[in-house]
Structure 1
Amino acid sequence: MDPLLLLFSLSAATCAYLLWFYLLARNLTGPKVWPVFGSLPYLFLNRKRMHDWIASNLCSTGGAATYQTCTIALPFLARRQGFYTVTCHPKNIEHVLRTRFDNYPKGPTWQTAFHDLLGQGIFNSDGDTWLIQRKTAALEFTTRTLRQAMARWVNRTIRTRLWVILDKAARDHTPVDLQDLLLRLTFDNICGLTFGKDPETLSPEMPENPFAIAFDTATEATLQRLIYPGFLWRLKKVLMIGSEDRLKKSLQIVENYMNEAIDARKEKPSDDLLSRFLKKRDMDGNLFPISVLQRIALNFVLAGRDTSSVALSWFFWLVMNHARVEEKILRELKTVLTESRGGEPKRWMEEPLTFDEAEKLTYLKAALAETLRLYPSVPEDFKYVITDDVLPDGTFVPAGSTVTYSIYSVGRMKAIWGEDCMEFRPERWLTAGGDRFEPPKDGYKFVAFNAGPRTCLGKDLAYLQMKSVASAVLLRYRLSTVPGHRVEQKMSLTLFMKNGLRVYLHPRTLA
């Protein structure tokens, strides 16, 4: 080809691209975008503080609480694979989660990224596959049998393990990583509830559990698939390097563990969730295959283990830094226990709270809800757009793009929660008299437990477990962080503390 013609063609193509890029970029309201790479450079630079970065981007929009960005600034791709609408506007969230629910499924990007880990389980499926699992699980979660089973697991774990470990640490004046203890506690509880198998990770020896370690590794590797463009993780998977290599090895351990649990339940059914799903049939009337049962159980473990333990970790950290809130929680505990167990403090600590006692702890529930407002266990969620749509605030979302709703950012918007939105104030969840828990009238201001048809089925059980554990710790001890310990967020599917929560335990004297 003639060199001049080649140069002219390249110049024309460059000019055409730059014009196209200018027209694209001028309509984007998020972080600055660059040719070809879009906003990926800023995403990479802020990967260790992603939730705060997204929140600051949304706060900078003022009351709009929505912005759009592009991570692949290439024609024919930018309006689909690389196009993100990020919002924390309650009306937009309601539109996505309820009003136009069918137009915003998990979608192919999320499902493909999570398929190796979660398969077609309830948290990674849409349509009929999701619906049959949802209906089956809904029937089980409304039974008193499940509540009683959960209460047995929680109370036994507190009484025979958590208190033993904490008492020894208090006597020896040695610090503990409270987040690690809580993860072990909720893991043992949810494994017991899901497939009747107690891994006993919470014990004085603090054993390493291959399944728990592999599960953590797999979720972290899966998150990386969501953060970066799909071709990157697919290439790593073909080459079997980095996070994809770790994911494959971890999943093998997870599957072996699940197979053992399923075989045990087939031989000896119990009242756990897995035993119940073994009897259920899919939309075609067939029993669920082993591969599906594995992923169904794994989905429940993911939901029940990480979310409650992470929420409790942030709760204890906030309470340690707000003496006024701690005092009000203790005052409420004394009132409830005096009514049910009498006025002798020694009797209050003989057994963990029953779920019926925990049910009466209104202020404690408010404090937990306030924790989840500021530090939701699942900080961001993603939805795929099936057909072109317009959000309630007027934002156009093209088919094939992604809507990200930032649960973490909702609680940090003055336009939504007021000027004191960054304050830890449980009273905002109570009636004027302070005697009744009162969620916001606009339910989509608080979606820590999701909302609409996908509202968390285990919400009430989660509150009861968290109240039982919080009471078990605060009645016996005053907590203080280890000097120099830094509390930071870890970039994961759930809002873990990067360095754990290292605390000293000081025996409490109740009067």
Structure 2
Amino acid sequence: MADLECCSYMLPLLTCCLFFIYTICYMITTSSRTSDDHLAPKSYPVIGCLVDFYRNRRRLLAWYTSLLAASPSQTIVVDRLGARRTVVTANPANVEHILKSNFVNYPKGKPFTDVLGDLLGGGIFNVDGDAWYAQRKLVSHEFSARVIRDTVGVALEREAAATLVPALDAASAGDGGMAVVDMQELLRQFAFNVVCRVALGGDGEMALAPLPLARLASAVIHDAVMVFVRRRRRNNNLASASGGGGLVARMSAAGYGDEAIRDAVVSFIMAGRDTTSSALTWFFWLMSRHRDVEAQILLDSSSSGATVLLHAALCETMRLYPPVAWDSKHAADDDTLPDGTRVRRGDRVTYFPYGMGRMESIWGTDAGEFRPARWMTSSSSPASEGVSPFKWPVFQGGPRTCLGKEMAFVQMKFVAAAVLRRFELRPVAAAEGSPPPEFVPLLTAHMAGGLKVTVRRRSQRRQNGTCGR
């Protein structure tokens, strides 16, 4: 009996001793890590970096950025209880390896597609392999120069005249010019309407009337989009891919079923709405902070130099406030990144555009400043020409390079020109020297609380010409 009592005391004591010895060995081992671990957050047995992660949970972007900036290779390895091992990098060579050189080893992966399956289904942003390739080939038509010119241009003109300009006009006249508008929400609605016209074909009337933005964001998103897919079939508007009708018509003619078309349309709409509206929200906020840049864009509005400056300002905006703060892949097999970091099969491998935009090793000592001139090589060249997509992976790079890049720039420049030439936006309660609004990195980033502004009309001399030109 006494022996049993002794054992009952000794077993917990022995367990504690073994854990203590393990902890000491672990700390000795980790104190002499190879460069493979790259200044990872402080990690402990079993729980990993959970303590540091919890402590920095409200400032993850700044925390990861500081860790990456301190790492000799701008790469860290994160182990945390309850999460898979994650490699996070802001190293352009690693990004090129992940997105291009060894592309086949870094698919989205099942962990990603499972999480977003309910929303995106089998749409292009949520599939890999042959399914991704087939959709990309089909969808690429929607981003051809002709479609952008004929379809997107028309949609932008109509929506600007129907919703964007009237809304800002009304705000400039309301409450003695003190009416407040949330530009973020207005830009989301505008972008949503435009992308519905492009994705669903026709003049967009079927898309716009029954499907307000609030419904798109609800749990019935799939049912809502399916209504339009089936309605188009009933109306016999899907005769052939060459006969018009947008993405829906093209996919139907290629033999895709209703659910596949629905998933593609949902992906198209979500990407088209959120990314451009996010970038434009931060652009208009930055213009309110840098009136000299805004004035130069307005001063040269009739010259090609203004187009280059506007493009540069948009690129600089997305360097500091990328619509997608980070993007993850999942390693199909073991690998070694160019900087020597070992990747294990199943690891989450994340590249970090938000942090990359703030790396002095990439952009110089003024990396934290808004300086569009860093993008300007001449008065006639596109601002982003010559800048590696792996240094500035806002539109990804390699085989998954964003098909909508040119469409996004067309839309952003159109809206920026249409608004800046007509209106002056003044953020509400933006005191001199106040901190920037909170950047919230969800699936697509947004500005916490929106961008609340008052609107003042500019003089008539700025308003000649068409909406965006």
- TM-score scaled to structure 2, two decimals? 0.86
Pair 445,264 (structure 1): closer, same or farther in 2 beyond 3 Å: same
Aligned-partner SS, 2:76: strand
How far apart, in 1, do the equivalents of 2:315 and 2:55 lie?
Answer: 32
Aligned-partner SS, 1:383: strand
Where in structure 2 are the equivalents of 1:310-459 lying within 5 Å? 310-335=278-303, 361-431=307-377, 433-439=378-384, 440-459=386-405
How far apart, in 2, do the equivalents of 1:5 and 1:495 lie?
Answer: 54
> CA shift at 1:305, angstroms?
0.6
Moved over 6 A (4+): none
> CA shift at 1:327, angstroms?
1.4
How far apart, in 1, do the equivalents of 2:148 and 2:376 lie?
Answer: 28
How far apart, in 1, do the equivalents of 2:197 and 2:191 lie?
Answer: 10
How far apart, in 2, do the equivalents of 1:368 and 1:435 lie?
Answer: 16
Which amino acid in structure 1 is aligned with residue 156 of structure 2? V
Aligned-partner SS, 1:334: coil
Structure 1's unaligned 5+ residue stretches are 74-80, 215-249, 281-286, 337-358
Question: Would you say the 8 A contact 1:67–1:85 is kept in 2?
Answer: yes
> CA shift at 1:201, angstroms?
8.2
Which amino acid in structure 2 is aligned with residue 52 of structure 1? A
Question: Would you say the 8 A contact 2:251–2:261 is kept in 1?
Answer: yes
Where in structure 2 are the equivalents of 1:491-506 lying within 5 Å? 491-506=441-456
Partner of 2:248: 274
> CA shift at 1:19, angstroms?
5.8
How far apart, in 1, do the equivalents of 2:209 and 2:198 lie?
Answer: 15
**Which of 66, 71, 84 lines up with 2:80 in the alignment?**
71
Question: Would you say the 8 A contact 2:77–2:88 is kept in 1?
Answer: yes
Aligned-partner SS, 1:82: strand
Partner of 1:134: 136
Where in structure 2 are the equivalents of 1:39-118 lying within 5 Å? 39-61=49-71, 63-72=72-81, 82-118=84-120
* CA displacement, residues 340-396 of structure 1 (integer Å, 9 cap, x when unaligned): xxxxxxxxxxxxxxxxxxx98221111111111111100100011111111111111
**Which of 188, 211, 216 lines up with 1:212 in the alignment?**
216
How far apart, in 2, do the equivalents of 1:366 and 1:92 lie?
Answer: 26
Question: Would you say the 8 A contact 2:359–2:367 is kept in 1?
Answer: yes
> CA shift at 1:495, angstroms?
1.5
Pair 392,3 (structure 1): closer, same or farther in 2 beyond 3 Å: same
Question: Would you say the 8 A contact 2:92–2:391 is kept in 1?
Answer: yes
> CA shift at 1:257, angstroms?
0.1
Question: Would you say the 8 A contact 1:105–1:383 is kept in 2?
Answer: yes
Where in structure 2 are the equivalents of 1:254-269 lying within 5 Å? 254-268=221-235, 269=237
Question: Would you say the 8 A contact 1:47–1:491 is kept in 2?
Answer: no
Pair 7,47 (structure 1): closer, same or farther in 2 beyond 3 Å: closer
How far apart, in 2, do the equivalents of 1:11 and 1:165 lie?
Answer: 67
> CA shift at 1:446, angstroms?
0.9
> CA shift at 1:442, angstroms?
3.2
Aligned-partner SS, 1:84: strand
> CA shift at 1:307, angstroms?
0.2
Share of identical aligned residues, percent?
A: 35
> CA shift at 1:313, angstroms?
0.4
Question: Would you say the 8 A contact 2:389–2:396 is kept in 1?
Answer: no
> CA shift at 1:24, angstroms?
7.1
Partner of 1:488: 438
Aligned-partner SS, 2:366: coil
* CA displacement, residues 130-165 of structure 1 (integer Å, 9 cap, x when unaligned): 111111112332251354111111111101211111
Aligned-partner SS, 1:365: helix
Question: Would you say the 8 A contact 2:319–2:394 is kept in 1?
Answer: yes
Aligned-partner SS, 1:404: strand
Question: Would you say the 8 A contact 2:90–2:351 is kept in 1?
Answer: yes
Pair 145,267 (structure 1): closer, same or farther in 2 beyond 3 Å: farther
Tell me how many residue pairs correspond in the alignment: 433
Pair 434,484 (structure 1): closer, same or farther in 2 beyond 3 Å: closer
- TM-score scaled to structure 1, two decimals? 0.79
**Which of 290, 293, 300 lines up with 2:258 in the alignment?**
290
Partner of 2:467: none
Structure 2's unaligned 5+ residue stretches are 238-243, 463-469
How far apart, in 2, do the equivalents of 1:333 and 1:398 lie?
Answer: 52
Where in structure 2 are the equivalents of 1:135-150 lying within 5 Å? 135-142=137-144, 144-150=146-152
> CA shift at 1:298, angstroms?
0.9
Pair 365,143 (structure 1): closer, same or farther in 2 beyond 3 Å: closer
How far apart, in 2, do the equivalents of 1:38 and 1:201 lie?
Answer: 51
Which amino acid in structure 2 is aligned with residue 115 of structure 1? G
